[in-house]
Amino acid sequence: MDKNFVVASKEGSSYSDDAEPTHCNMCKWDLVVPYIEGRKMDRVCRYKQLKRGVYLVEVWDTYHPLRPGRYGNQRSVLRARYQLKVFKNGPIKNLKPIGRCEQYYWKGGLRHLKVFSEDGTTLKDVTLDSKGRLKTYTDSTRGEFNQRIVSYSYDEDKRILRRWRGRYEDWRAEGGGWNIPNECIVRRNENGMPLLDNGDFTETAYSGTKASPYKTRDIKYVAGRKHGVERTYNKFGRVILEEFFHHGTELPRWMAIKPEDVTVNEILDEGNAEVRRAILELQGYEVFLARCEAAGQLRVVDQDPDDKVGTLIHIDLPKLVGAARSSDTNRVSLLRVKDGTLPKHYVLRVPPHMKTARQANAWTWGLKENQYTPAIER
Amino acid sequence: MEQYRHGDLLIMPVDSIPKGAKQTEKSKQRILAYGEVTGHAHRLSAGTVTELGGETFFTTTVETTLTHDEHGPIVFKPGNYRVVHQKEYSPDYGSIRVAD
């Protein structure tokens, strides 16, 4: 199974690892969802057979033309529509991307990108000049593709048409959009970090105001950690991937874009402590606790003099996500502890029957209240 | 009993490593724990790391240093140690490991 291409399930709502593209009951087309470096792209290719060997193919900007995007009310935009002729007995499953970008290195000021297939043979060899422009481009797979675009048309969006017309020849030469994921060229330094010198391909944004921290200004790393939006462009300059970081922690897009809209329940429901800490920092502990106070009753039960032991807080909510037992229905016990080294706080969830902060902290280590006596805390 | 806290790990000396503790891919690189969001790892400079039933142990005959990108280093004397992962409460599962 090619990892770059994963296929929609029969319902078109969740995605499985089936080798074959599957039929969608909603739109009655067959769907293929491209992956880039293990992440689903916000794009779906769907096709139907017109006659033997000839397919009508559409590329949509969201997962499914009949569904809104992953993150709210994103509109589905038709990016491309073309007819595809498949030769020999080539089934549509042969429309697969050609390999993964596995190695980046420097060579006498030139940047060199090689794309390898899974058995290690070089499929593509791309050289960039010092400004990141394409210098040489070799593609050993081109002859192996048993597909060709026989007709091509855009309708509906004239603006997109204008943007794409000049690029169509290039685009067609490289597989007609099917291998767009592999056209991603990310320049990285020796440590694998995206290059940030002139921001041609990778850019990030400084934290701006508290309300909208990702309004783009020019930035990069804060204290050695990624902070802001990292965008990955394909060689046509289109954004194909956006990743959101808060001091080194990657956040889901919907949280990062509007942290003030993340509700109390969504934060409590988040399984990852780093993500939870990041979103609490973005939103502000004060805001979060004030919302808890407004929503239900918030009580500081016990505040230990040692900030590393923490503060025990009880939050009583009318409705709690994930409550299993009746006694837990409306109580969340949280322990707010300081990190051992850095001046940041974590909020950990503890059982509702905890009485003191020290007891709660010892519980997180599986110990009794008087057993937790760390000699060194880092 | 001496206890050392290193981020979301608590390390305690033990008399011996239980029989059947084995090395995994992660422990061969002397990684005690790995942060999936941040990518930071708690890594030892020397010693043998083993795992048994979700618990992590390590033994060392020389002084070994535990490092992490965001926490200060801790030096351990030769001996056997048990690593406790910090857990937090989950209404669904009782307790789950703290993830970072």
Least confident among A200-204, B26-30, B48-52, B87-91: A200-204
Identity of the residue numbered B60: T
**Beta strand A228-233 with A202-203: parallel, antiparallel or unpaired?**
antiparallel
The structure tokens listed for A48 are 């139907």
Average pLDDT, integer, range B41-70: 87
Please count the residues of chain B.
100
Q: Which residue of A has its CA nearest to B97?
A: A364
Rounded CA separation A167/B44 (Å): 52
User: Is A275 close to B37, i.e. CB distance below 8 A?
Assistant: yes
Do A349 and B3 make contact, defined as CB atoms within 8 angstroms? no
For the question of whether the overall pTM of this predicted structure is more than 0.80, the answer is no
Put simply, the answer to whether A378 touches B99 (Cβ < 8 Å) is no
Task: Decide if A360 contacts A352 (C-beta within 8 A).
Answer: no
B19 touches chain A (CB under 8 A): no
> What local confidence, expressed as pLDDT, does residue A203 receive?
34
Number of domains in chain B: 1
Per-residue pLDDT tens over the stretch A59-111: 666 656 666 555 555 556 665 565 555 543 333 333 333 333 332 333 333 34
Residues belonging to chain A with any Cβ–Cβ distance to chain B shorter than 8 Å: 248-250, 271-275, 320, 322-325, 328, 333, 339-342, 348-352, 363-366, 372-378
Contact (CB<8Å) A341/B100:
no
Instruction: Provide the domain limits for residue B75.
Output: 4-97
| B2 touching chain A per CB within 8 A | yes
Chain A residues near residue B76 by CB distance under 8 angstroms: none
Q: How far is B19 from chain A (nearest CA, A)?
A: 22
In three-state secondary structure terms, B26 is helix
Read off the amino acid at residue A318.
P
What does DSSP assign to residue B78?
Answer: S
Bridge partner list, A125: A114, A138
Please name the amino acid found at residue A109: G
Report the C-alpha gap between A324 and A315 in whole angstroms. Answer: 17
What ipTM did this prediction achieve?
A: 0.89
Residue in A closest to B100 by C-alpha: A274
| A254 HSE (CA, 13 A, CB side) | 12
Helix (H, G, I), strand (E, B) or coil at B25: helix
Enumerate the residues of chain A whose CB falls inside 8 A of the CB of residue B99.
Answer: 271-274
Residue A25, judged by CB atoms within 10 A of its CB (0-12, 13-18, 19+), counts as exposed
Could you tell me if A234 and A36 are in contact, meaning their C-beta atoms sit under 8 angstroms apart?
no
CA-CA distance, A44 to A62, in Å (whole number)?
6
Helix locations, chain B, DSSP H: 25-28
Q: How many C-beta atoms lie closer than 10 Å to residue A61's C-beta?
A: 17
Closest-approach residue (CA) in chain B for A344: B70
Is-contact B68 B82, C-beta < 8 A? no
CB A60 within 8 A of CB A29: no
Low-confidence stretches of chain A (pLDDT < 70) are: 1-22, 26, 32-45, 51-55, 57-225, 231-241, 271, 285-286, 296-297, 316-331
